[in-house]
Structure 1
């Protein structure tokens, strides 16, 4: 076995045009694949695999970045070619991305469409392992004043107290809300209970003079707008 094989395949062994760090410098981070971004953190490979291949194997084994985020630290460490130091760097990088998505912006975000609302919560809620229902509270210009978690756990139309969804909106004299909940399965297809809850929320909003702009179901990297589909808003 030669010296390179004993030390592991290095990023430097790749053609310069294919090295992740050089590609990032030249094209920007957005041009890199998930495996290439992980390779920058992993740095060196193992006999038979360079760092990009190790990163791709990690993604495949743990079911993508979401899976790496949810996996226990020990499980990431145990993957061949990772170990505690690299696992810590990977976990830290993903956590920084999660925190950035949650940072309060200097200006209140404005919701113009279901896509805007989904983009605002997608990163965090698509990674949740339990079902959660949150209420996005909006002012007259559709600025997001607050996002409040109302329920955690399996949603059942017989258990959801509709008044709880409007409590903070009433206190803040909000003019509109958007209801958002996730499906941990990754499939955002609305269930019959989702539609029944939506119908009850819309009716309550009319009584309180608080418009229910939408109810979004968040899945893995995608969402469904019940209003766009005419479910519960008829």
Structure 2
């Protein structure tokens, strides 16, 4: 069916303006991003086809350039647009974590960490450096490992914390398996980091483990 034959309030752009972006399906959101279809498929049909081919919207968004561009209706230009969109999303979530902002919303922190760590193929150890009022000074990925482990060195964490003149830290790392449940190794390295940082009067406020859509907080579990 040609899109012009659909009722106006069923067209993705018009529906968004009328009912809000949250009312759109994944296919409709993707259709707005793609803008046009390809021979034999209107943009909504193409969007539905691509979601089925990739398995989900998330898998499409995290696809490599090679995987993305091999599909009909996609190409380098669309891939570049998509990467720019993803980076804008990261920066939007990071705005309240910029220097001078106090961390007062744990849910926002979790959303930010999900956006930064969830889709990494390798385990990454992430640190938020905070001042004495728990305002963000800086954040960095300090260590990256294989698909299931990252070597974390307490001495390097202490060194970076002193470099930033931090008074407190929030730690985070991802589990590429998608399972956020902390391991005994996670608990062990957290204790080592707490002990090492306490020697220079720096507190560890929390350690988040990021899985597939879930974030586990050590502080909420009563482990810190």
Q: Distance in 1 between matches of 2:166 and 2:193?
A: 15
Q: Distance in 2 between matches of 1:64 and 1:217?
A: 23
**1:214 maps to what in 2?**
206
Q: What TM-score do you get using the length of structure 2 for normalisation? A: 0.83
What displacement does 1:161 show?
A: 1.4
- Name the CA shift for 1:221/1:109 in 2 (closer, same or farther; >3 Å): farther
**1:54 maps to what in 2?**
46
Alignment gaps of 5+ in structure 1: 1-8
RMSD: 2.8
Q: 1:120 aligns with which of 88, 95, 112?
A: 112
What displacement does 1:22 show?
A: 0.4
Alignment gaps of 5+ in structure 2: none
Structure 2 residue 85 is matched with structure 1 residue 76: no
- State the 4+ residue runs in structure 1 displaced beyond 6 angstroms: 104-107
Find the structure with the greater CA-based Rg: 1
- CA contact 2:54–2:60 (8 Å) conserved in 1: yes
Q: How many residue pairs align between the two structures?
A: 223
- Name the CA shift for 1:116/1:98 in 2 (closer, same or farther; >3 Å): closer
**1:173 maps to what in 2?**
165
- Name the CA shift for 1:170/1:193 in 2 (closer, same or farther; >3 Å): same
**1:227 maps to what in 2?**
219
- Name the CA shift for 1:92/1:153 in 2 (closer, same or farther; >3 Å): same
- Name the CA shift for 1:124/1:99 in 2 (closer, same or farther; >3 Å): same
What displacement does 1:113 show?
A: 4.8
**1:64 maps to what in 2?**
56
- CA contact 1:10–1:43 (8 Å) conserved in 2: no
What displacement does 1:192 show?
A: 1.6
Q: Distance in 1 between matches of 2:200 and 2:79?
A: 50
- CA contact 1:156–1:193 (8 Å) conserved in 2: no
Q: 1:33 aligns with which of 25, 32, 55?
A: 25
- Name the CA shift for 1:176/1:96 in 2 (closer, same or farther; >3 Å): closer
What displacement does 1:131 show?
A: 0.9
Q: What TM-score do you get using the length of structure 1 for normalisation? A: 0.80
Which one is further off, 21-30 or 219-228? 21-30
What displacement does 1:99 show?
A: 4.7
Q: Distance in 2 between matches of 1:185 and 1:95?
A: 23
What displacement does 1:88 show?
A: 4.9
Write out aligned runs for 1:86-125 (5 A): 86-102=78-94, 108-125=100-117
What displacement does 1:194 show?
A: 0.8
Which one is further off, 26-35 or 197-206? 26-35
What displacement does 1:38 show?
A: 1.0
Which one is further off, 175-184 or 90-99? 90-99
